[in-house]
Structure 1
Amino acid sequence: MDNSKFSLFSFSGKMKVLHLSWMAFFITFVVWFNFAPLLQMVKETLGLSTQEIKTLLILNVALTIPARVVIGMLTDRFGPRLVYSALLAVCSIPCFMFAFADSFIQAAIARFLLGFIGAGFVVGIRLVSEWFPHNELGTAEGVYGGWGNFGSAAAAFTLPTIALLFGGDEGWRYAVAITGLMSLLFSVIFYRSVSDTPKGSTYFKPKHVTAMEVTSKGDFFFLLIMKIPMYAVLGLLAWKLSPSGIDMLSDFVVNAIYAGLVALYFLEVSQVWKVNKTVFEKPVEEIHRYKFKQVAVLNVLYFATFGSELAVVSMLPLFFAETFELTPVLAGMVASAYAFMNLMSRPGGGWISDKFGRKPTLLILTAGLAIGYFLMGQVGSQWPVWLAVVAAMLCSFFVQAGEGAVFATVPLIKRRMTGQIAGMTGAYGNVGAVTYLTILSFVDYQTFFYVIAATAVLGFVTLIFMEEPTGKIAEVNKDGSVTLIDVSN
């Protein structure tokens, strides 16, 4: 742990690690979202149909759900420095593939593989938690998440301009390729500039990386239940690609995917059993226990916060264009106010958590989230546009501050498993996005906002069962001695 002063204008010690971490996350989001702002150019150059474009958008997020879980496990095992560097380097390859694709199939494979870079967020959560004490952790994780997340907005604003500067029908290819080059170059910078822990600190690794550890019989079954939505939403994505959806895959292929997901789930059940069967033989010592319900509550909250953010960012320009009869460009600019809130809201949520406690902060922000989306459901053409924008920004504050508060809590549950916990919670954000966007395809905008508000209310109810992280986390050193890590004052 680095106990030097917290100063955003410093670039040494823990602040250097924080700045390099959010930059890495920023680049992953630029690469992950480099398609949406260039969508029309890609469509014309490759001669794609509207259905094929929609398919690429779905494929772009499909792999991120399992990827966040896998990357979380790898981070705990091999350390953030190696995993983040490798992720940035390896994912530059499908980015270049997409830049030089000349058919729908090539573009589809590239976008599917690029979903893996969306897992980068998980790596920095563990890295930042190694460098910052508990009383600064929420603020640091908020800066990491909020400033890094802004990469999607940066891509939307800069990439069309870069494409136009290169000119011609192929300009978008150069814009996309530049993001891949940024990712490749920064992987080297990151590897050479960061260490997993401050000098003299121990990097605690989980006993197993094939499945998450639990410390009671009840938590064993709770973990298996909480895994089901992640498989179910992948099945939902397959259904959207089936003849019943956009008709990209045949019924045979989709049924094979369903069967594969069921098989994978039971394979995971077997891994969870191998890792945790000892809890059925003898109780875990009190000092080493943690409560999985803490993880489950954070999963539900991130489903409602980040899940709704991803969904709303996708549909808000169209919502403003149709509701207020704005041009697509103006609607996009107006809707961008929602994403801009990330710069301050997410760090703000983390800072409030540091000052006033994790659970009280989450309760207030989740209540605000429900009210905010209920208000968005009231927006109609009779509203002044400026008032609708204010409502969207108010809602956005609670959404993104809530995200900051969730990840101010994640690293305080069990240090050696922070990557795995962050991976599962992060995956639930993507589960939420797919769920909400699927619901949107069946209902009107108002109902869509009310559904999100209802899930926020559900999140508020689950929060009642969450316990404020207190005391210390016990971790075992290689020599058998125990290190106690503070999680509260």
Structure 2
Amino acid sequence: MLGEMWQFRGRYKILHMTWFAFFLSFVVWFNLAPLATTVKAAFDLEPGQIKTVAICNVALTVPARIIIGMLLDKYGPRLTYSCLLIYAAIPCILFACAQNLSQLIVSRLLLSIVGAGFVIGIRMTAEWFPPKEIGLAEGIYGGWGNFGSAFSAFTMVGLAGALSFFPGAFTLPSGDPLNWRFAIAGTGIIAAIYGVIYYFNVQDTPPGKVYRRPKSARGLEVTTKKDFWFLMVMNMPLTVILMVLAWRLKKVGFLNESSYPIVLVALLCLYLFQAYNCWVVNKDLLSGAKRYPPEDRYKFKQVAILELTYIVNFGSELAVVSMLPAFFEGTFGLSKAFAGILAASYAFMNLFARPSGGLISDKLGSRRMTMGLLTLFMGVGYLVMSSIPAVRDGLGYDPEVGASGALIALAVVMTMACSFFVQAGEGSTFAIVPLVKRRVTGQVAGNVGAYGNVGAVAYLTLYSLLPDGDLGNIRFFQVLGICAIIVAMLCLFILEEPKGSFAEHHEGEEESANSALETEMM
């Protein structure tokens, strides 16, 4: 596969077009961070207010990934991805036209839905690649697409700066700059144009293959009564984390004393509605009218453990990316610009770390062992990062003199080594997700993906409660490390190898349908 990967035909065309769709969705999703200080100045926002706007950027991603997973299983990835990319233009333009804090918050809440795009490509890629190659294919999709966040960080400021050279065209008569507004709106418009291109250039499955849909996409189908109640428990954190976000909105005044309880009740009703839909899908199973044969069953504990792994890898990545520039700046007394460049090394690792995790999963012969070991090494990596302040002091750091190049290089190497295992772990997670149960792959991917955002919000909320300075940073990385080691033990001792992890064909797939892939699409 590695040698054929650079072709732009057949399944490789689908892979390249799909990772680029994900790439654009992440450019859009992360287009605020590089311009946050500019937006803060333009609206004269307080630090807590701009932080809340940034948190809103991930708020609705949690339920959106669940809903997108349902739509994906029902309508297919081609239509779902195209519609999401076209939709991206709407909140981008709304944000670019915002005149006050409330409009900024509403538009970022709407924009957070775009962050659910990742889920769609998981199933598209799984439809085109066999289980034995799915780790590398999903890793390329996730890693190269995820690079959109770093690309956005490096280009949005430059684009806005370039537009500032045309003051007549990009400045209001009052003197207020429009360059940042045009830059943000432009990312949404580009995504919408690509959404149309994507629709007319891909298809859901190779010729001869049938797109397998669940009987109902209203909720996740399980195959035992015990798993239904397990599903109800694992859905609770998705609602709880939205309540935490509501609390943050109340802290900045977006919600008042009367509206806050209403939002909490609405979120509780959302959980009950989701539970009802799951009951509708599984009511025959619960009543005893339906019983799945052993070959058609799957264990929901597989999904639950994958959800926990995505908390500790992708959830921690989102949290660390948010605090790492300030960490380097405060720990070594660096300028904001240089600290930002060093912190970007963490995101750059996505280009090869996530595909590497998928490739290791393909080649090691045990996806369970790969998942467990990468998560264990990630936990150790975070514990090593927690020692950076101690290493700094042990090497005789003098704040007035500044950090030496060797000390900074050592810290960057430690960070990048940890980053490799974090993102390789993400790759190995989604090497397993498409193999759990094919007809509900979208919903499984949606649930696992949503837990990544649960982790990000939980970790960032914890970080905001820790003391400033070295002590808070040390405790933060220690929590990340300990959580990862606990989950690694679950992977090593409880997670089971999916059926057909290295098979030539997916579950229930006809031999003749698969052979059509190479003959009809070349």
Q: For 1:393 and 1:303, how far apart are their aligned partners in 2?
A: 20
The match for 2:52 is 55
Post-superposition Cα deviations, 1:258-305, rounded to whole Å, max 9, x if no partner, equal 111111212222221121122230431112111111101100000000
Deviates most, 354-363 or 263-272: 263-272
Structure 2 SS opposite 1:467: coil
2:247 is the counterpart of 1:250: no
Cα deviation for residue 248 of structure 1 reads: 2.9
Q: Which residue of 1 aligns with 2:131?
A: 134
Offset from partner CA, 1:281-334 (integer Å, 9 cap, x none): 043111211111110110000000000000000000001101111010010001
Tell me the distance in 2 between the aligned counterparts of 1:449 and 1:484.
46
Equivalent residue number for residue 218 of structure 1: 226
Aligned to 1:363: 372
Counterpart of 1:111, as a letter, is: R
Secondary structure of the 1:251 match is: coil
1:449 maps onto 2:477 in alignment: yes
Q: Which has the larger radius of gyration?
A: 2
1:420 is the counterpart of 2:449: no
Q: Which moved more, 1:125-134 or 1:169-178?
A: 169-178
More divergent stretch after superposition (463-472 vs 147-156): 463-472
Does the C-alpha gap of structure 1 residues 144 and 292 become closer, same or farther in structure 2, counting only changes over 3 Å?
same
The AA in structure 1 aligned to 2:246 is A
TM-score normalised to structure 2 length = 0.89
Q: Which residue number corresponds to residue 341 of structure 2?
A: 333
Aligned partner (choices 290, 307, 313) of residue 321 of structure 2: 313
CA distance in 2, matches of 1:51, 1:439: 15
1:60-109 CA-partner distances (Å, limit 9, x unpaired): 11000000000011000000000000000012111111122222222221
Query: Which residue is 1:387 aligned to?
Result: 410
Corresponding residue to 2:423 among 400, 408, 414: 400
Q: Distance in 1 between matches of 2:509 and 2:344?
A: 47
Distance 1:27 1:295, change over 3 A: same
2:237 corresponds to which letter in structure 1? Answer: P
In structure 1, the residue matched to 2:77 is 80
| 1:303–1:429 contact (8 Å) kept in structure 2 | yes
Q: In structure 1, what is the Cα distance between the partners aligned to 2:509 and 2:206?
A: 18
The 1-side partners of 2:212 and 2:99 are apart by 46
Which residue in the other structure is 1:466 paired with? Answer: 495
Alpha-carbon distance in structure 1 between the residues aligned to 2:2 and 2:499: 23
Q: Kindly indicate whether the alpha-carbon contact (under 8 Å) linking 1:474 and 1:484 is maintained by their aligned counterparts in 2.
A: no
Counterpart position of 2:432? 409
Does the 8 Å contact 1:288/1:475 carry over to 2? Answer: no
Which letter maps to 1:451? V
Take 1:173 and 1:271, find their aligned partners in 2: how far apart are those partners? Answer: 40
Q: Distance in 1 between matches of 2:3 and 2:416?
A: 28
Q: Which residue of 1 aligns with 2:273?
A: 267
Q: Please state whether the residue corresponding to 1:211 is helix, strand or coil.
A: coil
- Which whole-Å CA distance do the structure 2 matches of 1:439 and 1:144 have between them? 31
Q: Does 1:438 pair with 2:461? A: yes
C-alpha change, 1:249 and 1:289, in structure 2 (3 Å) is: same
2:240 alignment partner in structure 1: 232
Alpha-carbon distance, 1:49 to partner:
2.4
On the 8 A contact 2:208/2:514 being kept in 1, the answer is no
8 Å CA contact 1:6, 1:15 repeated in 2: no
Aligned-partner residue type, residue 321 of structure 2: V
Equivalent position of 2:249 in the other structure: 241
Runs (5+) with no aligned partner, structure 1 = 478-482
* Partner residue, 2:156: 159
- One-letter code aligned to 2:454: V
SS of the aligned residue for 2:259 comes to helix
Task: Tell me how many residue pairs correspond in the alignment.
Answer: 477
Distance 1:6 1:291 in 2: 36
Q: Say if 2:285 is the partner of 1:279.
A: yes
* Identical counterparts, % of pairs: 48
| One-letter code aligned to 1:452 | L
Deviates more, 1:408-417 or 1:97-106: 97-106
1:5 CA displacement? 8.3
Indicate the larger mover: 301-310 or 46-55: 46-55
- Partner Cα distance (2:380, 2:27) in 1: 31
Q: Does 2:371 match 1:374?
A: no
Q: What is the aligned partner in structure 2 of residue 480 from structure 1? A: none
Structure 2 unaligned segments of length 5 or more: list them: 168-176, 396-406, 467-471, 516-522
The amino acid that maps onto 2:133 is E
The 8 Å contact of residues 72 and 123 in structure 1, kept in 2 or not, is answered as yes
Distance apart, 1:251 and its partner CA:
2.2
Give matches, 1:30-179, under 5 Å.
30-167=27-164, 169-179=177-187
The whole-number CA distance in structure 1 between the counterparts of 2:2 and 2:302 is: 30
8 Å contact from structure 2 (residues 380, 485) kept in 1: no
Partner of 2:214 in structure 1?
206
1:48: how far off?
2.4
Change (3 A) 1:366 1:289: same
Deviations 1:388-447 (A, max 9, x none): 111110110000000000000000011111100000000000000000001101121110
Whether the aligned pair in 1 keeps the contact of 2:61 and 2:115 (CA below 8 Å) is yes
Amino acid at match of 2:459: Y
Taking the aligned partners of 1:238 and 1:320, their CA distance within structure 2 comes to: 30
**Aligned pair in 2 of structure 1 residues 5, 33: CA closer, same or farther (>3 Å)?**
closer
Deviation at 1:40, TM superposition (A): 1.4
Q: CA deviation at 1:191?
A: 0.3
Distance 1:122 1:88 in 2: 13
CA shift, 1:6, in A, is 6.0
- Measured against aligned partners, the alpha-carbon deviations of 1:342-361 in whole angstroms (never above 9, x if no partner) come to 00000000000011121111
